[in-house]
Structure 1
Amino acid sequence: MAFSGRFFRQFFSRLFFRRFCEGKSGNVATIFALTLPVVVGGAGLGVETSYWYYSSLKLQAIADAAAYAGALEKIAGSNTDAITAAAASSAASNGLGAGTIVVNTPPASGPNTAKKAVEVILNQDLDRIFTSIFTQTKVPERARAVALITDASKACDIALSLTASQALLFSGSTNAKKIGCIDMANSNASDAIKIQGSAAVQTDCLISAGGMVLNNPPTMVCKAPITQALPAADPFASLPAPATTSPCQKINGNKTTQTIQPGTYCSGMSLNGNITLSPGVYVVQGDLKINASAVIQGSDVTIFMAGSNTVSMNGNATVTLAAPTTGTYSGVLFYGDRTGTAAQSTFNGTATSLLTGAIYFPRQQVNYLGNFSGVNGCTQVVADTIQWSGNSTINQDCSSLGMKDIPAAQSVAVVE
């Protein structure tokens, strides 16, 4: 009986196993049930990995756009806080969300640390979906971009106003020659640069952030005038205003020949006769008038016009002034207070006059009427608006005289 019991158990066990193996539908269902978690998990991991990759591409695009926006702000002459704000605003509008942003100018690493560039570093953490079964740790992502600013041209003069009509005007019978440099207007007006009357202009190029009205075609190195360009930054935006000193300096009006000293002239300056300016910084709290037949000379001189005070040079005066070649005000001859209001300063004089250095009036119009420039043609004009009416030849290669190049027609490219 024991033998027969074992026999039947073995018989039915083998029969059940044979039927199980031969039952294909049940076999497939069982295998499918066993492998389904693996298949679903693999598909989920593939989808999630694709999501991570897409997010990394999007984060890089956001970083590129933010670096570009920061570089445009830098071209406009803004400070680091404004550059950072522009980059952060771009990143937020493009979907950065809860991620973090770091902006460096110049870049903190890479091959462009010594160049005009803006670096943006973005970090964000992604929530897990399918892989959260295994860990709750977020997925970190990082993107970095560097936008490089390149100076395509050097300027002899820049009209800084962003909206003025005829911001850079060549009028009358002027014959203005600009050698090795361009004329630039930041205004978006349709006539930001205008040549009228019988004015003749020779320049490497005319470049405007707006449009131009050219009644007489200029002679240029470039093939055609450039409009709708990026505005140029104020090259002297970081130049500090000189401090006032005491006691107040005065000019002895009874002397026909005298040498005056640097310092603060609290009642302005009215110059007659033969006057020599000793080297240094002159802070003028009032108008500066150079009267007819005056002979004015001085080297290593910077004249700061406080407030909205103006300069007026008579056409019969002979003025020979040169800016310092070293120090804080190297290359800057006249400096108009950037806190002043709208006004006009006029530079005139005999054909033997020489104004060597930069004439910088960010809040005033400069009327350049004289038939002269500086030593070797080294005169630069940077002002709110500019009017040329004299016959002048301006050169750009003036580094030996302490003057720095004025960048214009800048371009931006994402290089890292």
Structure 2
Amino acid sequence: MRNIFREIWEDKRGNSLILAAAALPLLLGSAGLATDTIQWALWKRQLQRAADSAAIAGVYDRSANDGATANTEAAVDHDLTLNNPLDTTKFPLTQKTVTFPSNSGNQQNQVRVVLAVQRPLSFSSMFMTNPPVIQTSAQAAAVSTEGEFCVLSLQKNGKTGIQATGSASITMDCGMMTNSISTNAAAGQGSAVITATTLAAAGGIQQSSQWQVTSYQPYSPALEDPYASLTPDTDDTATCPNNPPSLTVNNGNSGLVVNGGACYSSISVNSNRVLTLQNGVYFIHGGGVNVQGTLNLINATIVLSNKDLSSSSVTVGSFDANSNGQINATAPTTGKWAGIAIYQDRRATDNAPTGNITASSPNRINGNSTNKIRGVVYFPNQQLTYNGNGTGTATCTQFVAKRIYWSGSSGINNFTKNCNMHGMSPITAPLKVRLVA
């Protein structure tokens, strides 16, 4: 028997088996600890995500209630019920603390959420009396922004929504926003200088000497069309005969004044001629408006549409004021069309379906020396070009279009908001809630 054991001891072929057996507990322990580490990291990340979401929900609740905190914990609890992937019925939270740090700078309505849970780990639990504690925290706040815009581009694709070119100077005491998700959502070219309080975009903004702005706000939440619910109806087409006449102001009827609203197939104002439309809605069926002389709108709205209201595919005209065209507009202050100076039906076909801004825009408004516009200029599905070739003013004007192209060769064009007395509602930035800690 002693000889047998001696032979086994002296047999080198068994060394590897002995070493493997000795190392096996170490290998199993390492694998177990690695598995526990991965599982703990996953739970930690899931709990952090739940805390982040809960803190953001709390800020939205505070913002909706003017900063009050009475219902904030309930909002946090509701969010945790929906967005906490951990099984808190089997392993309930050992800590849930909701606090409200004081406002700091532009961080308002702050909410801090601290969460903790004990979860047993499959390997470590064999050696630990109590499961480890996983704890996370998140702090969110409403971040204030410079919020009033008088220029809004509704373009939502990856093409530029606002472009400035030429050498005109435009100054406004409000901001510009585009819903474009392009990395160059607002572009400056040439030597044009656009001065505004804010330049914001759903996409990126490349800083340029063309933009003289107080605040760049790239990657902001997109703004909804503020006039999406405004649509022509049968009351607006009641004055339209089967074949509406066109209205042309030429040598024979210079200085024509129309009162109370009307329906036309198109409107043309020839050079050195004046047309005044006042006190009503002027519905344009299928055709456009061409201004080479002077167009005055007094307590009036031009509606470019089509009286076939039931079809989604109709002909809708454009608005074209050439280089000598003058526009003096004051929108109504009451009624359905309050604040609206020029409205184009959103059924109008986009002249650039690829979404590229083009110099050959179908809609043009010129910023000549006598131009004054008080009201909304609305082209939701087509490009609008503003030619700043003078010292025009746009006191209380909103430009809302799919794409907006600023061009011109000289002059300073001044834009001011001050819109309340003109029946208009301000376009403001949506609430931004962000994690701050």
TM-score bracket for the superposition, by shorter chain length:
0.5 to 0.7
Which residue of 1 is the match for residue 372 of structure 2? 354
In the alignment, what sits opposite 1:76? Answer: none
**What do the CA deviations read for 1:189-235 (whole angstroms, capped 9, x no partner)?**
0111001110112111211111123442522223xx22111112212
Gaps of 5+ in 1: 1-57, 71-89, 97-146
CA shift for structure 1 position 279: 1.1
- The answer for the alignment partner of 2:334 in structure 1 is 326
- Residue identity matched to 1:205: T
Among 165, 169, 192, the alignment partner of 1:171 is: 165
Are the counterparts in 2 of residues 286 and 310 from structure 1 also a CA contact under 8 Å? Answer: no
2:219 paired with 1:228 = yes
User: Do the aligned residues in 2 keep the contact of 1:62 with 1:95 (CA within 8 Å)?
Assistant: no
Superposition pairs for residues 123-138 of structure 1, below 5 Å? Answer: none
Could you tell me which of 191, 198, 213 is aligned with 1:205?
A: 198
- Aligned residue number for residue 266 of structure 2: 268
Q: What residue number does 2:232 align with?
A: 241
2:348 corresponds to: 340
Q: 1:409 deviation in Å?
A: 5.3
* Offset at residue 309 of structure 1 (A): 1.5
Instruction: Measure, in 2, the Cα distance between the counterparts of 1:256 and 1:62.
Output: 65
Q: 1:173 to 1:255 in 2, by over 3 A?
A: same
> 1:372 deviation in Å?
5.0
Distance change >3 Å, CA 68–CA 336, structure 1 → 2: farther
1:300 alignment partner in structure 2: 299
- Do the aligned residues in 2 keep the contact of 1:351 with 1:372 (CA within 8 Å)? yes
Q: Distance in 2 between matches of 1:163 and 1:67?
A: 32
Matched, 1:393 2:387: no
Question: Structure 1 residues 259-268 or 276-285, which shifts more?
Answer: 259-268
**What amino acid sits opposite 2:200 in the alignment?**
I
The whole-number CA distance in structure 2 between the counterparts of 1:169 and 1:61 is 37
Q: 1:362 to 1:319 in 2, by over 3 A?
A: same
Aligned to 1:259: 257
Following TM superposition, by how much is the alpha carbon of 1:187 offset from its aligned partner in structure 2, in angstroms?
Answer: 0.6
Do the aligned residues in 1 keep the contact of 2:393 with 2:413 (CA within 8 Å)?
Answer: no
Pairing of 1:24-103 with structure 2 (within 5 A): none
SS in 2 for 1:173: coil
Shift of 1:171: 0.8
Contact 2:289 2:317 in 1 (8 A): no
Equivalent pair of 1:191/1:211 in contact (CA under 8 Å): yes
Do the aligned residues in 2 keep the contact of 1:65 with 1:91 (CA within 8 Å)? no
* Paired position in structure 2 for 1:140: none
Q: Say whether the 8 Å CA contact 1:315–1:349 is kept in structure 2.
A: no
The CA deviation at 1:301 is: 1.0
TM-score using structure 1 length: 0.60
Letter in 1 for 2:420: S
Does residue 1:190 correspond to 2:195, yes or no? no
Q: TM-score, normalised by structure 2?
A: 0.57
Secondary structure at the counterpart of residue 204 of structure 1: strand
Do the aligned partners of residues 326 and 246 (structure 1) sit closer, same or farther apart at CA in structure 2, a change above 3 Å counting?
closer
Measure how far apart 1:291 and its partner are.
Answer: 3.6
User: 2-side partners of 1:369 and 1:91: how far apart?
Assistant: 55
SS in 2 for 1:400: helix
In the TM superposition, what is the alpha-carbon distance from 1:304 to its structure 2 partner?
Answer: 1.1
RMSD: 3.6
**1:152/1:170 Cα in 2 relative to 1: closer, same or farther (>3 Å)?**
same
Match for residue 407 of structure 1 among 399, 407, 428: 428
Residue 316 in 1 paired to residue 324 in 2?
Answer: yes
Moved more, 247-256 or 307-316: 247-256
> Per the alignment, in what secondary structure is the counterpart of residue 287 of structure 1?
coil
In the TM superposition, what is the alpha-carbon distance from 1:288 to its structure 2 partner?
2.9
Matched-pair contact (CA < 8 Å) for 2:240–2:263: no
Distance 1:164 1:336, change over 3 A: farther
The answer (yes or no) to whether the contact 2:344–2:380 under 8 Å persists in 1 is yes
Of Structure 1 and Structure 2, which has the larger fraction of its residues in helix?
A: 1
C-alpha distance after superposition, 1:82-125 (max 9, x if no partner): xxxxxxxx9978779xxxxxxxxxxxxxxxxxxxxxxxxxxxxx
Amino-acid identity (%): 28
SS in 1 for 2:432: strand
- Decide which structure has the larger Cα Rg and report it: 1
Match of 1:25 in 2: none
Checking the alignment, whether the CA contact within 8 Å between 2:50 and 2:83 is kept in structure 1 is: no
> How many angstroms does 1:169 deviate by?
0.5
Q: Give the Cα separation in 2 of the matches to 1:148 and 1:241.
A: 37
Determine if the alignment matches structure 1 residue 160 to structure 2 residue 181. Answer: no
Quickly say closer, same or farther: Cα 1:266–1:65, change in 2 above 3 A.
same
| Structure 1 equivalent of residue 33 of structure 2 | none
